[in-house]
A and B are shown apart, each in its own frame.
Chain A
């Protein structure tokens, strides 16, 4: 339905709140995949191909020109050889005349050769330019698209799958999209060659091309078989990629449990299935491809038989046989490639479908028309009868209602898995509620622009992900133009400055892919600094200090206390020390609010609260 929503989102992207900073030297893709899913796969890709029409047309026309020139050569040769046949029978007196004709023919051929080379060169330059620009476009399109997709998509899709689709599948589409027209152009040589052959000797021309319709039949048969097999291979390759991805990311678990052997065997099984797929693929190709490739040879044998008969009957010359040989031979290479083309076409089709599957995913979280920016935030947050669950899982929040007053710090407490983090993810609209409303300063968050909402609501996620850039850039991730002083101030507030300056390159230390070289607590502190730097009026700390020891935690909160003074803060925590920071506690259980009040009030009135904090389960040792 709303096919263009991602792109709308991008177009709407809000200069005011957005993180900008890098300008690309390369231009944006000028066209996108056709949104109409009922179109065939190549029709859907077509707009992107057409956006490179200038180079593409140049490539096609020049390659075509080059081919035409090449097809003229055998004709010139034929004339020359017929001239020579005459020479063998003539006297030495006219040899001089034959020589001058010969010289003229040689010069013609040399000129043709130079033209063929020059046009071929320029044509291919264009062709490669088209191919690689197309590939970049596809890569960028997929990346852009994935960037705007909602969390619910990433919840059910593995990264290994996406990487495999955004890489090997793009390549197979790109190869086909550029290779195919080239081959088709080369196959045009067939038409041209046929024309020349017709002009030389119509009967022989028909005989020579007699076997060609076979090509069409074999092509259809191949297509029917190759598509499913290609699709199967691609999906099995993605399985392999997924296992590798898991083993790289989960290397500690694999090693901890000494499960290397079973993982190697798991991969070996997947590799075996890939191997079987390729063998099956080879068997299918073996059935059809050789026929396609050798059709010109079959034609040649007919030309020799029938042509010889015509020569003997005086209806053709031996030069004609040579010319026909040359023309049919010209078909050899395109025909070999035609076989490949059919295969590649099927592979590309399977790959394209896999890419479309990503591109047809729509962000579930979108801005409505007329959404406005959230500015001058006071910070009242209301959850109004919110019902929510992930994907098609049952509700995790059943009827959640709560109000956070402007400038208030509220702690959200509950058992493991009761939906605390879910509340944190609903406010910045990482997910949309199933029912009910969430309002900030009285505005439903669905009426607000996403960039402004997420700019004003800062979340420190429970999983502190760091990018493999410098610590400075990690802290300034949400505010690229921050000064060094600002970055440092944020780091000091998050109690991270002290350990950062002790690192070999201080703030310029590049942390590993997943920030492994830092301890869990250090990573959490950088994540906190990252959010503090943006200075959001509404702040959510989702168990953001779980790996930090109490001492440091209390220092962080001491710093935060002043920082939090005028902002609405939702703290999710298990520790009484963290809860103590809040003026009010909301107790969550079974998807609804059980009680609210100060820590002491809840302790006194609600047994569940004490139970969750394990205050009553104290037992003497």
Chain B
């Protein structure tokens, strides 16, 4: 990203440039107070240069990546930090419980009427102070260890999920809503951050605290400890089980609801132009209110459960104290126990219930985290429908001979789009698919590039079944220009370079001239460094197509597939492209899909696709002479004023 500025490459953040700041300086924030700027810069000054990631991508997951996603698995990847964190957690829990014991000792040995010992009291107080300071130090180290642990796990998880998304096939992306996928990668993962950072530690620490407290209570007075446990623990356990069950169900529902909110939001944003043009604003606002309201209701449900559980434990805590007072008090009156011990019991009982309140809070985090993990696990369990075989071979440098053998295909297998197609494309040949909209032309191209696998039959490239070769070796030799050009946020230059990041500036200039983008580049004040993004309007639809073509030309593929890649161009630009194609295609195989028969006419061979199969095939001249379907199409094209490039 070429946003410059000292933002550690936080380039995408710079979108709110515009009028306030001018996006050129890359400041993501409109009115940052200067003192904040200083603060941020101070922090960034301490940021080391992160080495650029150098991860390998394989279509088939490595055994490590394929393991079932669980919290322990994530933790096990950073064992050192985890062990450290656990030790510190135990230490902190122990330090925390020294206090009441010291108080009890001080009372029984220093403050009992007639047996005053100020030195014992002061020693106890000093020890208490020492334990408190030690806790501070331990917590400080622990915060850093936990922070690292959580951050690394989050980073690993983001990469893991994203890598998996990259493996999934096109059909997955057409069926799943963008908003849902976005929420998996953003809010589901962000949910875990809090849990990993504070939640697990607090959980362990408080749980441990409760165990220690029980142990200490038993060591002090078995009878009273037993009474306390009998009175308090069963009720608390039942309540907790109820809470666990109800809230788990609630959280799963609320994850679904938030995904609904996000997909409604994202669709509205992507379609904002249609929304505005159709005066649909108020309708959509009402609709969104319903979606948000639904999310609110699921939250209210979990809220109700939480509102029951928290105060109930408080009440149980107080009731427990009352009963302890009754039983313990009687024991004191009958001289079976000292006051100091009873006081210590109260102190511990308080500390027993304190953690529960914290645990309830953390439990929400845990539940959210769990449901997020469940959702992520579902996503990770999705198998790409187009996948590599484990022993897939690397496709050597292509000659470009395609052979479709008895290919049948339907996006829905029950409704084939193509039936029993047989077709051979010779190396270096350019072939044009023509035919009515929806006849299956694009589908043929998608099969040739293995975006989908045939339902029946097979496709061979240079004698290799497409399903037997690695996807990377296949696609890196193919260049596809889809009908709808997609732009990444970044400069024109980085968009052109997308298919071949190592391309030199000279090569980029060459591509710019080749596709006729020079005019545009000179017109823009910042030239090739102009920042564009997907839905921005800096470029017209035609210019985007030129950019996409330039991108493909620059990638120097062995086989080029143009799927209506010139539909938004004026005829002059199209002519430029056609000439460029003539140069680029030298010795390369090309598949062209075009409605303009001018483009088709220049192809070595024309294949007419209709009703799910190939109707006729041959050169322009042959087909016109044949007087069949193509001849008819050609006639209506000429009648409609179409240009005949062969005249």
Contact = CB atoms under 8 A, between A and B. Distances in A.
A198 interface: no
Contact of A480 (B55, B170, B283, B449): B283
A286 B143 contact: yes
A146 B143 CA distance: 39
Contacts of B482: 252-253, 256
Give the interface residue-count category, chain A. Answer: 35 or more
Interface stretch (A128-136, A436-444, A562-570): A128-136
Nearest to B302: A128
A119 B31 CA distance: 44
Contact of B339 (A84, A246, A530): A84
Contact of B318 (A116, A242, A333, A458): A116
B12 A415 contact: no
Contact of B335 (A88, A154, A547): A88
Interface in A309-323: 309, 311-312, 318-319, 321-322
Interface in B47-86: 47, 50, 52-57
A579 B570 CA distance: 12
Given A106-B325, A135-B299, A250-B488, A322 B10 contact: no
Contact of A168 (B186, B280, B282): B186
B153 to A, nearest CB: 9
A533 to B, nearest CB: 10
Contacts of B303: 124-125, 128-129, 131-132
A305 B126 contact: yes
Interface string A289-310: 1110110011011101110110
A140 B158 CA distance: 29
B4 interface: no
B438 A293 contact: no
Nearest to A73: B318
A605 interface: no
Contacts of B278: 19, 454, 477-478, 530, 534
Contacts of A287: 140
A140 B285 contact: yes
Contacts of A525: 437
B85 to A, nearest CB: 12
B643 A504 contact: no
Contacts of A33: none
Contact of B166 (A168, A229, A260, A421): A260
B572 A611 contact: yes
Nearest to A101: B329
B636 A227 contact: no
Nearest to A621: B646
Interface stretch (A22-30, A369-377, A402-410): A22-30
Contact of A120 (B107, B288, B314): B314
B284 to A, nearest CB: 6
A24 B31 CA distance: 36
B103 A157 contact: no
Count chain B CB atoms within 10 A of each CB in A70, A161, A599, A620 and give the residue with the most.
A161
B572 A614 contact: yes
Nearest to A548: B437
A362 B340 CA distance: 68
A574 interface: yes
B642 A576 contact: yes
A84 B163 contact: no
Contact of A235 (B28, B56, B140): B28
Interface in A213-234: 224-225, 227-229, 231-232
A163 B139 CA distance: 36
A357 B541 contact: no
A521 B633 CA distance: 17
Contact of B572 (A272, A499, A513, A612): A612
Contacts of A252: 170, 451, 480, 482, 486
A477 B279 CA distance: 9
B369 interface: no
Interface stretch (A188-196, A275-283, A483-491): A275-283
Contacts of B113: 85, 89
A244 B182 contact: yes
A261 interface: yes
A575 B129 contact: no
Contact of B499 (A236, A259, A311, A463): A259
Contact of A414 (B354, B357, B546, B570): B570
Given A120-B310, A304-B124, A268 B55 contact: yes
B573 interface: yes
B340 A88 contact: no
Interface stretch (B115-123, B220-228, B456-464): B115-123
A475 to B, nearest CB: 11
B273 interface: yes
B36 A227 contact: yes
A413 B569 CA distance: 11
Interface string A255-272: 111111111110111111
A404 to B, nearest CB: 19
A235 B125 contact: no
A158 B166 contact: no
Contacts of B179: 163
Contacts of B357: 333
Count chain A CB atoms within 10 A of each CB in B22, B122, B569, B572 and give the residue with the most.
B572
Contact of A478 (B152, B280, B288, B437): B280
Contact of A258 (B121, B122, B258, B475): B475
A255 B533 contact: no
B146 A81 contact: no
Interface string A18-46: 11111111101000000001000000000
Contacts of A10: 281-282, 285
A98 interface: yes
Contacts of B99: 297, 300-301
B180 to A, nearest CB: 9
A231 B343 CA distance: 47
A168 B261 CA distance: 12
A576 B640 CA distance: 7
A384 B351 CA distance: 79
Interface string B447-481: 00101000000000000000000011011101110
B339 A357 contact: no
A85 to B, nearest CB: 5
Contacts of A528: none
A509 to B, nearest CB: 11
Contacts of A553: 595, 640
Contacts of B154: 271, 274-275, 278
B537 A19 contact: no
Contact of A308 (B15, B122, B166, B574): B122
Nearest to A420: B540
A278 B333 contact: no
A425 B541 CA distance: 13
Nearest to A265: B53
A158 B15 contact: yes
Nearest to B198: A340
B300 interface: yes
A285 B143 contact: yes
Contacts of B346: 77, 81, 322, 326
A468 B177 contact: yes
Nearest to B154: A275
B597 A550 contact: yes
Interface stretch (B263-271, B374-382, B419-427): B263-271
Given A132-B303, A144-B285, A260-B167, 13 more contacts: A84-B329, A85-B113, A125-B304, A155-B536, A155-B538, A280-B43, A282-B144, A290-B140, A305-B121, A318-B107, A468-B177, A549-B633, A612-B572
* Pairs of residues from A and B, 7 with the lowest C-beta to C-beta distance, nearest first: A282-B147, A117-B315, A120-B311, A576-B641, A128-B303, A305-B125, A113-B318
27 contacts: A26-B293, A73-B318, A77-B321, A88-B335, A88-B338, A98-B333, A103-B326, A117-B314, A121-B311, A124-B307, A128-B304, A155-B535, A163-B266, A237-B190, A244-B165, A248-B178, A257-B499, A275-B154, A304-B121, A312-B111, A319-B343, A416-B572, A521-B438, A576-B641, A599-B641, A612-B571, A614-B643
